Amino acid sequence: MAERMGFFTDTSICIGCKACEVACKEWNDVPDDGFVFRATSYDNTGSLGADTWRHVAFIEQPGGGSGQEGVEGWLMSSDVCKHCTHAACLDVCPTGALFRTEFGTVVVQADVCNGCGYCVPACPYGVIDRRERDGRAFKCTMCYDRQLGGLEPACAKACPTDSIQFGPLDELRARARERVELLHGEGRPEARLYGADPGDGVGGDGAFFLLLDEPEVYGLPPDPVVTTRDLPAMWRWAAGAALSMVGVVAVSFLGGGRIR
Ligand code: SF4
Ligand code: SF4
Protein backbone atom coordinates (compact mmCIF):
# COMPACT_ATOMS: atom_id res chain seq x y z
CA MET A 1 0.00 0.00 0.00
CA ALA A 2 1.40 3.38 -0.99
CA GLU A 3 1.20 6.43 1.28
CA ARG A 4 -2.37 7.69 1.76
CA MET A 5 -2.89 10.73 -0.47
CA GLY A 6 -5.47 13.46 -0.08
CA PHE A 7 -6.79 16.92 -0.84
CA PHE A 8 -6.61 19.93 1.47
CA THR A 9 -8.97 22.59 0.14
CA ASP A 10 -8.25 25.95 1.79
CA THR A 11 -11.40 27.93 1.04
CA SER A 12 -9.91 31.12 2.53
CA ILE A 13 -7.86 31.67 -0.64
CA CYS A 14 -10.34 30.46 -3.26
CA ILE A 15 -11.18 33.20 -5.81
CA GLY A 16 -14.07 31.33 -7.44
CA CYS A 17 -12.45 31.16 -10.88
CA LYS A 18 -13.75 27.59 -11.40
CA ALA A 19 -10.53 26.52 -13.11
CA CYS A 20 -10.74 23.37 -10.95
CA GLU A 21 -14.18 22.49 -12.29
CA VAL A 22 -13.05 22.99 -15.89
CA ALA A 23 -9.78 21.06 -15.45
CA CYS A 24 -11.70 18.16 -13.87
CA LYS A 25 -14.15 18.03 -16.74
CA GLU A 26 -11.42 18.23 -19.37
CA TRP A 27 -9.12 15.59 -17.90
CA ASN A 28 -11.88 13.13 -16.95
CA ASP A 29 -14.06 13.78 -20.02
CA VAL A 30 -17.04 14.65 -17.79
CA PRO A 31 -20.00 15.85 -19.91
CA ASP A 32 -21.51 19.29 -19.50
CA ASP A 33 -24.29 19.67 -16.95
CA GLY A 34 -26.38 22.43 -18.44
CA PHE A 35 -24.59 25.50 -17.05
CA VAL A 36 -27.85 27.31 -16.38
CA PHE A 37 -28.15 30.69 -14.71
CA ARG A 38 -29.98 29.72 -11.53
CA ALA A 39 -31.25 33.16 -10.48
CA THR A 40 -30.29 32.33 -6.90
CA SER A 41 -26.51 32.58 -7.22
CA TYR A 42 -23.74 33.39 -9.69
CA ASP A 43 -22.80 29.71 -9.39
CA ASN A 44 -23.88 28.00 -12.62
CA THR A 45 -23.27 24.36 -11.69
CA GLY A 46 -25.25 24.25 -8.43
CA SER A 47 -23.97 21.14 -6.69
CA LEU A 48 -21.85 18.04 -6.98
CA GLY A 49 -23.36 15.39 -9.24
CA ALA A 50 -22.66 12.72 -11.81
CA ASP A 51 -21.49 15.43 -14.23
CA THR A 52 -19.87 17.77 -11.67
CA TRP A 53 -17.06 16.10 -9.72
CA ARG A 54 -15.66 19.42 -8.38
CA HIS A 55 -18.17 22.09 -7.49
CA VAL A 56 -17.23 25.64 -6.54
CA ALA A 57 -19.96 27.11 -4.35
CA PHE A 58 -20.52 30.89 -4.29
CA ILE A 59 -22.19 31.69 -0.97
CA GLU A 60 -23.37 35.26 -0.77
CA GLN A 61 -22.82 36.98 2.55
CA PRO A 62 -25.63 39.43 3.28
CA GLY A 63 -24.69 43.03 4.02
CA GLY A 64 -26.75 45.92 5.36
CA GLY A 65 -28.01 47.64 2.15
CA SER A 66 -30.17 46.60 -0.78
CA GLY A 67 -29.33 45.34 -4.31
CA GLN A 68 -25.59 45.04 -4.95
CA GLU A 69 -24.96 46.90 -1.69
CA GLY A 70 -26.89 44.15 0.09
CA VAL A 71 -24.07 41.68 -0.54
CA GLU A 72 -21.03 42.01 1.68
CA GLY A 73 -19.02 39.38 -0.18
CA TRP A 74 -18.84 35.70 -1.01
CA LEU A 75 -17.59 32.59 0.64
CA MET A 76 -16.12 30.40 -2.09
CA SER A 77 -15.41 26.74 -1.68
CA SER A 78 -14.48 23.96 -4.08
CA ASP A 79 -16.30 20.81 -2.91
CA VAL A 80 -15.47 17.25 -3.92
CA CYS A 81 -15.88 13.59 -2.87
CA LYS A 82 -14.43 13.23 0.62
CA HIS A 83 -12.72 9.85 0.00
CA CYS A 84 -13.89 8.82 3.50
CA THR A 85 -11.81 6.55 5.74
CA HIS A 86 -15.01 4.52 6.34
CA ALA A 87 -16.82 4.86 3.02
CA ALA A 88 -20.43 3.66 3.05
CA CYS A 89 -20.66 3.86 -0.75
CA LEU A 90 -17.98 1.20 -0.90
CA ASP A 91 -19.65 -0.96 1.77
CA VAL A 92 -22.96 -1.25 -0.09
CA CYS A 93 -21.75 -1.68 -3.70
CA PRO A 94 -22.74 -5.25 -4.72
CA THR A 95 -20.56 -5.46 -7.85
CA GLY A 96 -17.21 -4.23 -6.56
CA ALA A 97 -17.41 -1.24 -8.91
CA LEU A 98 -16.33 0.93 -5.97
CA PHE A 99 -12.92 0.07 -4.59
CA ARG A 100 -10.18 1.53 -2.37
CA THR A 101 -7.01 2.31 -4.28
CA GLU A 102 -3.42 1.84 -3.13
CA PHE A 103 -3.42 5.62 -2.41
CA GLY A 104 -6.27 5.22 0.11
CA THR A 105 -8.81 6.91 -2.17
CA VAL A 106 -12.25 5.62 -3.23
CA VAL A 107 -12.82 5.08 -6.96
CA VAL A 108 -15.86 3.92 -8.96
CA GLN A 109 -15.28 1.93 -12.15
CA ALA A 110 -17.96 2.82 -14.70
CA ASP A 111 -17.47 -0.44 -16.65
CA VAL A 112 -18.30 -2.55 -13.54
CA CYS A 113 -21.17 -0.41 -12.16
CA ASN A 114 -24.60 -1.99 -12.83
CA GLY A 115 -26.56 1.18 -12.01
CA CYS A 116 -28.36 -0.24 -8.93
CA GLY A 117 -27.82 3.10 -7.15
CA TYR A 118 -27.32 1.64 -3.63
CA CYS A 119 -24.30 3.92 -3.16
CA VAL A 120 -26.31 7.12 -3.68
CA PRO A 121 -28.34 7.16 -0.41
CA ALA A 122 -25.43 5.54 1.45
CA CYS A 123 -23.13 8.56 1.02
CA PRO A 124 -23.48 10.83 4.08
CA TYR A 125 -22.38 13.84 2.00
CA GLY A 126 -24.69 13.39 -1.02
CA VAL A 127 -21.70 13.16 -3.34
CA ILE A 128 -22.07 10.10 -5.58
CA ASP A 129 -24.78 10.33 -8.22
CA ARG A 130 -26.23 8.33 -11.12
CA ARG A 131 -26.03 9.82 -14.59
CA GLU A 132 -29.57 10.08 -15.94
CA ARG A 133 -28.61 9.16 -19.50
CA ASP A 134 -27.09 5.75 -18.66
CA GLY A 135 -27.93 5.13 -14.98
CA ARG A 136 -24.40 4.40 -13.78
CA ALA A 137 -22.83 6.15 -10.77
CA PHE A 138 -20.02 8.68 -11.09
CA LYS A 139 -17.90 10.83 -8.78
CA CYS A 140 -14.37 12.20 -8.28
CA THR A 141 -11.60 9.62 -8.62
CA MET A 142 -8.93 11.99 -7.28
CA CYS A 143 -7.54 11.51 -10.82
CA TYR A 144 -6.43 7.92 -10.11
CA ASP A 145 -4.92 7.66 -13.59
CA ARG A 146 -2.80 10.78 -13.05
CA GLN A 147 -1.65 9.53 -9.62
CA LEU A 148 -0.55 6.26 -11.22
CA GLY A 149 1.58 8.37 -13.56
CA GLY A 150 3.10 10.37 -10.68
CA LEU A 151 1.01 13.48 -11.46
CA GLU A 152 -1.21 15.53 -9.16
CA PRO A 153 -4.97 15.63 -9.84
CA ALA A 154 -6.09 18.05 -12.55
CA CYS A 155 -8.02 20.38 -10.20
CA ALA A 156 -5.02 20.90 -7.90
CA LYS A 157 -2.75 21.44 -10.93
CA ALA A 158 -5.07 24.08 -12.39
CA CYS A 159 -5.87 26.02 -9.17
CA PRO A 160 -4.06 29.38 -9.50
CA THR A 161 -4.10 30.17 -5.77
CA ASP A 162 -3.21 26.73 -4.35
CA SER A 163 -6.59 26.65 -2.64
CA ILE A 164 -6.58 22.96 -3.62
CA GLN A 165 -3.48 21.16 -2.34
CA PHE A 166 -2.71 17.52 -3.02
CA GLY A 167 -0.21 15.34 -1.16
CA PRO A 168 0.34 12.79 1.62
CA LEU A 169 -2.63 13.15 3.99
CA ASP A 170 -0.56 13.44 7.18
CA GLU A 171 1.51 16.29 5.71
CA LEU A 172 -1.63 18.07 4.53
CA ARG A 173 -3.22 17.80 7.98
CA ALA A 174 -0.13 19.32 9.64
CA ARG A 175 -0.02 22.11 7.05
CA ALA A 176 -3.73 22.79 7.53
CA ARG A 177 -3.37 23.07 11.32
CA GLU A 178 -0.57 25.64 10.84
CA ARG A 179 -2.72 27.59 8.41
CA VAL A 180 -5.61 27.73 10.90
CA GLU A 181 -3.25 28.98 13.63
CA LEU A 182 -1.94 31.65 11.26
CA LEU A 183 -5.45 32.84 10.40
CA HIS A 184 -6.41 32.93 14.08
CA GLY A 185 -3.29 35.03 14.73
CA GLU A 186 -4.39 37.40 11.97
CA GLY A 187 -7.74 37.97 13.69
CA ARG A 188 -9.79 35.34 11.80
CA PRO A 189 -11.15 33.24 14.70
CA GLU A 190 -13.84 31.78 12.43
CA ALA A 191 -11.26 29.66 10.52
CA ARG A 192 -11.71 25.93 11.24
CA LEU A 193 -10.96 22.54 9.72
CA TYR A 194 -13.68 20.21 8.44
CA GLY A 195 -13.10 16.49 7.83
CA ALA A 196 -9.54 16.49 9.20
CA ASP A 197 -10.34 14.61 12.44
CA PRO A 198 -9.77 10.82 12.25
CA GLY A 199 -12.06 10.51 15.28
CA ASP A 200 -15.16 11.82 13.50
CA GLY A 201 -18.14 9.74 12.32
CA VAL A 202 -16.50 8.65 9.06
CA GLY A 203 -12.99 8.17 10.47
CA GLY A 204 -11.81 11.39 8.84
CA ASP A 205 -11.84 12.43 5.20
CA GLY A 206 -9.18 11.95 2.56
CA ALA A 207 -10.40 15.31 1.23
CA PHE A 208 -10.79 17.90 3.96
CA PHE A 209 -11.38 21.64 4.11
CA LEU A 210 -10.48 24.88 5.85
CA LEU A 211 -13.77 26.76 6.25
CA LEU A 212 -14.55 30.32 7.31
CA ASP A 213 -17.99 29.58 8.75
CA GLU A 214 -20.14 26.71 10.03
CA PRO A 215 -20.23 23.63 7.74
CA GLU A 216 -24.00 24.08 7.22
CA VAL A 217 -23.34 27.45 5.55
CA TYR A 218 -21.41 25.55 2.86
CA GLY A 219 -24.10 22.84 2.62
CA LEU A 220 -21.95 20.32 4.52
CA PRO A 221 -23.37 18.08 7.29
CA PRO A 222 -21.97 19.19 10.69
CA ASP A 223 -21.53 15.64 12.07
CA PRO A 224 -21.39 13.11 9.22
CA VAL A 225 -21.68 9.46 10.23
CA VAL A 226 -20.92 6.41 8.08
CA THR A 227 -24.40 5.18 7.18
CA THR A 228 -23.42 1.50 7.32
CA ARG A 229 -22.23 1.81 10.93
CA ASP A 230 -25.14 -0.30 12.28
CA LEU A 231 -25.14 -2.95 9.53
CA PRO A 232 -23.19 -5.66 11.46
CA ALA A 233 -25.54 -5.33 14.46
CA MET A 234 -28.57 -5.41 12.13
CA TRP A 235 -27.29 -8.60 10.45
CA ARG A 236 -26.74 -10.17 13.89
CA TRP A 237 -30.32 -9.27 14.89
CA ALA A 238 -31.68 -10.64 11.59
CA ALA A 239 -29.72 -13.90 12.01
CA GLY A 240 -30.97 -14.23 15.61
CA ALA A 241 -34.58 -13.63 14.50
CA ALA A 242 -34.24 -16.23 11.70
CA LEU A 243 -32.86 -18.82 14.14
CA SER A 244 -35.73 -18.14 16.57
CA MET A 245 -38.24 -18.68 13.75
CA VAL A 246 -36.63 -21.99 12.82
CA GLY A 247 -36.78 -23.03 16.50
CA VAL A 248 -40.48 -22.13 16.81
CA VAL A 249 -41.37 -24.07 13.61
CA ALA A 250 -39.38 -27.11 14.78
CA VAL A 251 -41.05 -27.11 18.22
CA SER A 252 -44.53 -26.81 16.67
CA PHE A 253 -43.83 -29.79 14.36
CA LEU A 254 -42.56 -31.90 17.25
CA GLY A 255 -45.47 -30.83 19.44
CA GLY A 256 -47.96 -31.69 16.66
CA GLY A 257 -46.46 -35.20 16.32
CA ARG A 258 -46.97 -35.92 20.05
CA ILE A 259 -50.69 -34.94 19.93
CA ARG A 260 -51.40 -37.45 17.13
S1 SF4 B 1 -18.00 11.16 0.25
FE2 SF4 B 1 -19.61 9.69 -0.33
S3 SF4 B 1 -19.00 8.99 -2.39
FE4 SF4 B 1 -17.17 9.94 -1.45
S5 SF4 B 1 -16.08 8.21 -0.43
FE6 SF4 B 1 -17.41 9.16 1.14
S7 SF4 B 1 -19.30 7.89 1.02
FE8 SF4 B 1 -18.18 7.51 -0.89
S1 SF4 C 1 -9.25 26.79 -9.22
FE2 SF4 C 1 -8.72 27.26 -7.06
S3 SF4 C 1 -9.20 29.45 -6.87
FE4 SF4 C 1 -10.21 28.77 -8.75
S5 SF4 C 1 -12.29 28.17 -8.06
FE6 SF4 C 1 -11.08 26.31 -7.97
S7 SF4 C 1 -10.33 26.21 -5.85
FE8 SF4 C 1 -11.04 28.33 -6.19
pLDDT tens-digit profile, the chain (260 residues)? 689 999 999 999 999 999 999 999 999 999 988 777 777 788 888 899 999 999 999 998 877 655 556 667 899 999 999 999 999 999 999 999 999 999 999 999 999 999 999 999 999 999 999 998 899 999 999 999 999 999 999 999 999 999 999 999 999 999 999 999 999 999 999 999 999 999 999 999 999 999 999 999 999 999 999 988 777 666 666 667 777 777 777 777 777 655 44
The phi and psi torsions of 48 (rounded to 5 degrees) equal -65, 150
Task: Give the C-alpha separation, 190 to 214, whole Å.
Answer: 8
Coil/strand/helix, residue 256: helix
Q: According to the model, what pLDDT value does residue 193 have?
A: 98
Calculate how far, in angstroms, residue 6's C-alpha sits from the geometric centre of ligand 1. Answer: 13
Residue 178 has what pLDDT?
Answer: 98
The pairing of strands 71-80 and 5-10 is unpaired
Ligand 2 test: best mutation among 10, 14, 210, 218, most atoms within 8 Å of CB? 14
**Cα(255)–Cα(164) distance, integer angstroms:** 70
Ligand closest to Cα of 166 equals 2
Query: Which residues neighbour 168 within 8 Å (Cβ) at sequence distance 6 or greater?
Result: 3, 4, 5, 6
pLDDT given for residue 260 in this prediction: 45
For residue 75 and ligand 2, the question of a CB distance below 6 A is answered with no
Q: Are 129 and 118 in contact (CB under 8 A)?
A: no
Ramachandran region of residue 96, left (φ > 0), alpha (ψ -120 to 50) or beta?
A: left
Instruction: Give the CA count within 13 Å in the CB-facing half-sphere of 215.
Output: 13
Distance separating alpha carbons of residues 68 and 7, to the nearest angstrom: 34
Contact between 54 and 170 under an 8 Å Cβ cutoff? The reply is: no
Length of the chain: 260
Determine whether the shortest distance from the Cβ of 56 to ligand 1 is under 6 A.
Answer: no
CB of 49 within 8 A of CB of 79?
no
Q: Is 212 in the pocket of ligand 1 (CB under 6 A)?
A: no
- Residue 236: how many CA atoms within 13 Å on its side-chain side? 4
Ligand 2 within 6 A of 131 CB?
no
